[in-house]
Amino acid sequence: MARIHLLDERTANQIAAGEVVERPASVVKELVENALDAGARRIVVEVSGGGRDLVRVTDDGIGMVPEDARLALQRHATSKIRSAEDLNTITTLGFRGEALPSIAAVSHLELITRPHDQLAGYRIVVEGGQIVAEGEHGCPPGTRVTVRNLFYNVPARLKYLKTSATEMAQIGDVLTRLALANPEVAFRFHSGHAQVFATPGSGDLMAAVTALLGREIAKELIPVDYRSDAAWIHGFVGRPAIARAGRSHQYFFVNRRAVRTIAARYALEEAYAHLLPGGRYPVCILFIEVEPREVDVNVHPTKAEVRFQREREVRAAVYQAARQALGAALLIPGTSISPGGEVRVPDREEEKAALRRGWVPPGAGRPGEGGGRAAPPPWQGSAGGAGAQTAAREPVRTYLPPGGLQAALAEKASKEVAAAGAPALDLAGASFVPRPQDPAELIRSLRPLGQVHRSYIACDGPEGLYLIDQHAAHERIFFERLYAAAEEQAAAVQRLLFPLTLDLTPAQMAIWRENAALFAESGFEAEPFGGNTLLIHGVPAGLGTDHVARLVCDFLDRLQEEQVPPGTPVTERRRRVLAAMAACKAAIKARETLQPEDIAALLQDLAACASPETCPHGRPTIICVSVSELEKRFKR
């Protein structure tokens, strides 16, 4: 008797559901992605009991005829691809045809759908993968999928679920990413009878960011727009002031698909390497547009990860994009300067008004396509003949036009809101985040007044009282000198009269041998002295000998714990880390008395630095207490 046999379809669907439907957030993700692929412009998500009791997704997409609705509940039935070759140019979020049957296999599911050119809709009810009822049904155009009693027939998976609050947090994160990726779509998210969030769907990425992440984050974002041969990077990065203790506020989108990408994350954090202290992570909303043939979206069961064909070039593009944006923004806290052209954040009343005017319930009519949308990348071709699905996947571009962002945003918002049949918002007179002056010019204009607590240098400046952290400032100066010399392999070496001996562990000695050239170009002259002992003959000029042993051991320990993506160039990063650690040891310390000539020299050297606003570890070197703040404190 044969021992191997084919599984029946119901069992196969339950097994497939284990990969596709991990938790309620997976259900929400799959259903909303289907709605987006169907060209929906308005999506309502309702959840109850953390998604276990109810998940309902309603959209105004193209809908389905009865035959397609039945096929959609069968595995590997899809309208997105016809052959394996289509995977090379896939632009839709879904394509496997597994989501709906997998969800239906582990829940009670109701599907109601109606194409826009049909008078009646169609309803199908599925329980545990079996159709139990179907027939014509009155409904507005679009599709509504209701999922109840998730995992009712898989007790082990049901037991695995976390608390309702935890599952709700996961659902909220999934929807936030989908809404950020599609600012031209109006999202509404309800938990029970309460509205969690709503986005206007105007196509303005900043409006979506404000609605989803809040004004405090939105007003601290810096626009990004960078192109290379491999990728186009656009969106926003956050100022160091809003850095987080984790990576939960890092949003990456590859061809409008929310993904986890270690390569892009690593490149972003490298760009902030000396702007943030340890344990703090930058905020970003970054769109990475690459040719579909050069990215594999089929490497993960839930399509949460992608692989780039030109990973090194994409990583470099993300790094350069972030560095370019950060370089254009001054990072001295507290200064007050003349208005310039940065991103405008709508106030709360404008958000509410836009939502009231721009929202039309699903099925009550579809707006025309907005005239303010940019053309897609060259590889996407024309939307003609591709229908609503292709149009819905066009990238949202963030331009920085020569005429100023303020006027462009006002014009763009007016066009898009008008296209939606709503009155335009008057953005022309709105206030923008100020653009600061050149930091070097500012530092040169300061007049030193003396030391505060032998730790901070007080200066009179154009906007009020400036305080400079003498340790952080000297640290920045020493770091840039040491790093530049190491890059040019011209570091000045201070020869030691009596060599230092340093006992290392076997692991540390192995790491030192691997990085001996890095130490040498940074100004360290050392050689093995038998076993695991290191003999140090010279150190970088200005470093001194008091902290050499601690510095070398700390750096080797850091390299031992270092984790980087395979194939990532590490020499430059390690050179920066070593220079930063050496600068911290060599710099003037707090509670050290400085003479007037020392202070003048320190300010002169700081003004000559490439990034004088922060120390190499990301702490600010200078802050300003404005005249208005002083007057307020003195009640004038």
Q: What angle do CA 551, 556, 561 make, to 5 degrees?
A: 125
Q: Record the tokens describing residue 581, joined without a space.
A: 């650690």
Tell me the per-residue pLDDT of 33-50, one tens digit each, with 9 for 90 and over.
999 999 999 999 999 999
Which among 22, 16, 45 has a CA at the least distance from the CA of 150?
22
Whole-number pLDDT of residue 5? 64
Q: What is the pLDDT of residue 181?
A: 95
CA angle 441, 444, 445 (to 5 degrees): 90
Say what the pLDDT of residue 466 is. 95
Q: What class has domain 437-636? A: alpha beta
In this structure, of 211-215, 244-248, 290-294, 608-612, the range with the lowest mean pLDDT score is 244-248
Average pLDDT score over residue span 391-398: 39
Crossing angle for the helix pair 548-561 and 506-514, nearest 10 degrees? 90
**Whole-number pLDDT of residue 549:** 87
Question: What ranges in 92-240 are assigned the alpha helix state H?
Answer: 99-105, 155-160, 164-181, 205-213, 215-218
Give me the pLDDT at residue 430, please.
34
DSSP state of 83: S
Instruction: Specify the higher pLDDT residue, 337 or 105.
Output: 105
pLDDT at 623: 92
Q: What is the DSSP letter of 84?
A: G
Q: What is the pLDDT of residues 58-108, one digit of tens each?
A: 999 999 999 999 988 887 555 544 455 544 555 555 444 578 888 999 999
Q: Is the dihedral of CA 473, 478, 480, 483 positive or negative?
A: negative
Dihedral angle computed from the Cα positions of residues 389, 390, 395 and 399, in that order, rounded to the nearest 10 degrees: -120
Helices H, strands E: what count in the chain?
A: 21, 22
> What percent of the chain has pLDDT above 70?
74
Distance of alpha carbon 350 from alpha carbon 345, whole angstroms = 10
Domain ranges of the chain: 9-198, 206-327, 437-636
Query: Are 184 and 201 in contact, with CB atoms under 8 Å apart?
Result: yes
Alpha carbon distance 211, 202 (integer Å): 12
Cα(201)–Cα(217) distance, integer angstroms = 19
| pLDDT cut 90: percent of the chain above it | 46
φ, ψ of residue 131 to 5 degrees: the values are -75, 125
| pLDDT (average), residues 239-261 | 89
- Tell me the chain's radius of gyration from C-alpha atoms: 29
Across-strand partners of 111?
124, 145
More confident of the two residues 558 and 12: 558
Contact 94, 69 (CB under 8 A): no
What is the fold of 9-198? Heat Shock Protein 90 (3.30.565)
Q: How far apart are CA 331 and CA 268, in angstroms?
A: 17
Residue 399: the pLDDT is 34
Coil/strand/helix, residue 468: strand
* pLDDT at 355 > cutoff 80: no
The pTM (predicted TM-score) of the whole model is 0.64
pLDDT level of residue 332 (50, 70, 90 thresholds): low
Residue 255 has pLDDT above 60, yes or no: yes
Q: What is the pLDDT of residue 479?
A: 94
The domain made up of 206-327 has a fold known as: Ribosomal Protein S5; domain 2 (3.30.230)
